[in-house]
Structure 1
């Protein structure tokens, strides 16, 4: 097992899902959360188990929401976004497995085989000389090399790199020729500051940069909504869709169901990873593209059909199976006859239900229970019924739940959610808020896992 450093992207919309995505992908590659030992510390025993950090904030967003749902917290003790540490140590079987996680994870900026960390460059130099002579010999001596120098929470000043390298000349004088285009070794030197205003240097990370998203690019941009042929008013945002699929641990051969499929955004991302996809919707207009789907205005005019299948054909993906029915009266045999112990067959349920004003007319037709919280509760219960009846053991249900930005409403909403989600066959694994722009209501991402029978 090796300890690596993941440098995560600081995306303010999805920053609360960083831990969840990393832990979910680790499980996908056979690494339990305990084995992964995700932490801001290299040494797992150095404060990694503490729920509260030295500033009184929860060490992870998931710990905060879990405490909130247990009724233990009333104050918002999430770490402020401008102070969030996006550098995570993780234990993996090999560098190759870490690369697999990097390749798939949406929120990883860089993968670093860390040699050491410290608060000053003399400290870094002494640690390398004492503990990492083999790394210097194997990675630098006689090798073509370059340096990736960056500052987090501060502006990077490339002119400082020369003096930094001169101060560490005992190491770099032994290295081969500098090669910026085709190096054999890329050294990462990263300075993490408290914030740009204070200029308080927290940590210096030094190691080999194994993968860098800036160099490789974001493969998921090929599915960007700006280039997708057919869109709908409530099409799931592309980055969020891929994060949700990672939370669901979809892999080749996984059976994936979206019971509120809409324009099929979640199934497109699941298909990319080899999922066998099924979808349903009560609104035939959505499936057929009648007065709902529309051609992307960023693309040249076209007469291609506006139904849900067009995007799958555009990406060369297998066509998903689509059904039209009301989720109150499920056609699935495993739900119609739960006492007959029908075999569960769905690996993941991923969906963005039609809450509130997003589809108010559809909601009234669907439930006839009023609007607002009543509709939300009915939708959640419908999803939980699906999850209990159809998910295989360890299968996951990932969905979004609307909540206002007001803190008191959020506390009430989460307490209500806890009551609704309390099912004997289901376990809440991850929670996180996705704030929307303009002060509008946020969405809470929920990841729920089927509990194997007998546990």
Structure 2
């Protein structure tokens, strides 16, 4: 396997490995991280069998800024040059007649021009005979100096110059061409969105977790304004969506808002349709339909989760009167029937969503969704408690907001045989693993996550 230097954007660091592994799985190749899994640093060396695999990752992964053929690294330039001389078989083919340039940059530091020249001259032993071309070279040799983050008072821009932690050297293979999609799908530029629309970078990361690709069928049972649908459709998948509240999908105007936004992104032909129904009272008459389910369930902070039913059952006499009034209004054409709903507690919703996914996913299909939780009280068993036989955890990554966070959960259907539809009416027995930290999350959020809440 060959070594490649990856330069990452320092955002959503915990999502980095799951995204890489999902995209590698999509294209059918393996990764070797060499034990280098420090998310606080922007550089990683990964072993791959083919250069094309590195290029595929750069074209698809949202968090990759650039990929390089790796030659050397060191805590000093002396160490780097020693390694680079040993790596001569990798770069000597470019010596005779390849046009080139050097690109020198620092992380958390700006390298002065004068020292950049000194760095370039220190590579004189490579004896590159090709033309120096700063505009359109055949190859670009890259040097990255990595410095510690400094959050102290303002300092002179040359202060600490040269005191880097590590310096890397390699040949640029490809810039991260997927990263500009973050701006393309920016919610602020969208034709239709609501106050619960998911930010573009996260929805793109979720789409990669589903391994969206042409020929695949994806489903969002909490469609809302469609934030999950547009990225998976951009990657070639067909999308179907539903929601208990059709107003979120429709918006204002004759054309549903989700379709208007899909038209904006050029993916309307991949939107199969929208329906209004409760996931627990769904119209599906067979399972194993979808390659992936991708969704952001409502958890009550901006929009409360609902399911069909009543908080309290009405007295029989009052229920009869209510139904008669509704029937009279429908006959008069004054009011469509709006079924009653009741709150849907988050831990119940998460458990039901996993059961629903086991029924609706094809073997090997994935469920990707966010699970909010109280950081102080979270334990790994909280996620394990909502899994069921035939479902396996693939990834669990935290987006930290301080007192609370939301976890991007990816699970896969491992069972090959069909299973019966889940019974959402039966109340599940208490888990032997205890009460999860995300139970009654809405109440804890508005109470300010007082200590002891998660234990009660």
- What is aligned with 2:28? 30
Aligned-pair CA distance for 1:158: 3.6
Q: Distance in 2 between matches of 1:217 and 1:187?
A: 22
Counterpart selection for 1:450 from 410, 413, 417: 413
- Decide whether the 8 Å contact of 2:207 with 2:228 is kept in 1: yes
Q: Distance in 1 between matches of 2:310 and 2:186?
A: 33
TM-score by length of 2: 0.76
- Match of 1:387, SS state, is helix
Q: Distance in 1 between matches of 2:143 and 2:172?
A: 9
Counterpart selection for 2:376 from 408, 421, 427: 408
- Decide whether the 8 Å contact of 1:264 with 1:308 is kept in 2: yes
Alignment of 1:6-405 (within 5 A): 6-11=6-11, 14-31=12-29, 35-39=30-34, 48=35, 60=37, 84-132=40-88, 134-171=89-126, 173-196=127-150, 201-213=164-176, 218-290=180-252, 305=255, 307-317=257-267, 318=269, 319-334=271-286, 344-360=288-304, 362-363=305-306, 368=311, 375-404=345-374
- What is aligned with 2:390? 425
- Decide whether the 8 Å contact of 2:72 with 2:81 is kept in 1: no
Aligned-pair CA distance for 1:325: 0.8
Q: Distance in 1 between matches of 2:73 and 2:309?
A: 56
Q: Distance in 2 between matches of 1:366 and 1:30?
A: 45
- What is aligned with 1:3? 3
Aligned-pair CA distance for 1:254: 1.0
Size of the aligned set, in residue pairs, is: 378
Q: Distance in 1 between matches of 2:145 and 2:408?
A: 32
RMSD: 2.7
Moved more, 382-391 or 237-246: 382-391
Which runs of 5 or more residues in structure 1 are unaligned?
Answer: 40-47, 49-58, 61-78, 291-302, 335-341
- Decide whether the 8 Å contact of 2:217 with 2:237 is kept in 1: yes
- What is aligned with 1:435? 400
Max Rg structure: 2
Aligned-pair CA distance for 1:397: 0.5
Q: Distance in 1 between matches of 2:391 and 2:81?
A: 50
Change (3 A) 1:231 1:216: closer
- What is aligned with 2:327? none
Aligned-pair CA distance for 1:306: 5.6
- Match of 2:386, SS state, is helix
Q: Deviations over 1:376-427 (max 9, x none)?
A: 11211221112111112221110001123xx42334xx53332122x11111
- Decide whether the 8 Å contact of 1:326 with 1:366 is kept in 2: no
Q: Deviations over 1:165-214 (max 9, x none)?
A: 2222222x43323211101110011122344478753322111011124x
Which runs of 5 or more residues in structure 2 are unaligned?
Answer: 153-159, 313-340, 418-456
Q: Distance in 2 between matches of 1:278 and 1:189?
A: 46
Q: Where is the helix percentage greater, Structure 1 or Structure 2?
A: 1
Q: Deviations over 1:249-277 (max 9, x none)?
A: 11111110100001111111111011111
Q: Distance in 1 between matches of 2:179 and 2:222?
A: 32
Q: Deviations over 1:87-118 (max 9, x none)?
A: 22223231112111110100001101011222
Aligned-pair CA distance for 1:449: 0.9
Change (3 A) 1:174 1:357: closer
Higher relative contact order (CA 8 A, sep 6+): 1
Q: Deviations over 1:318-371 (max 9, x none)?
A: 13311111111121123xxxxxxx5x12111100011112212x5265785999
Change (3 A) 1:243 1:268: same
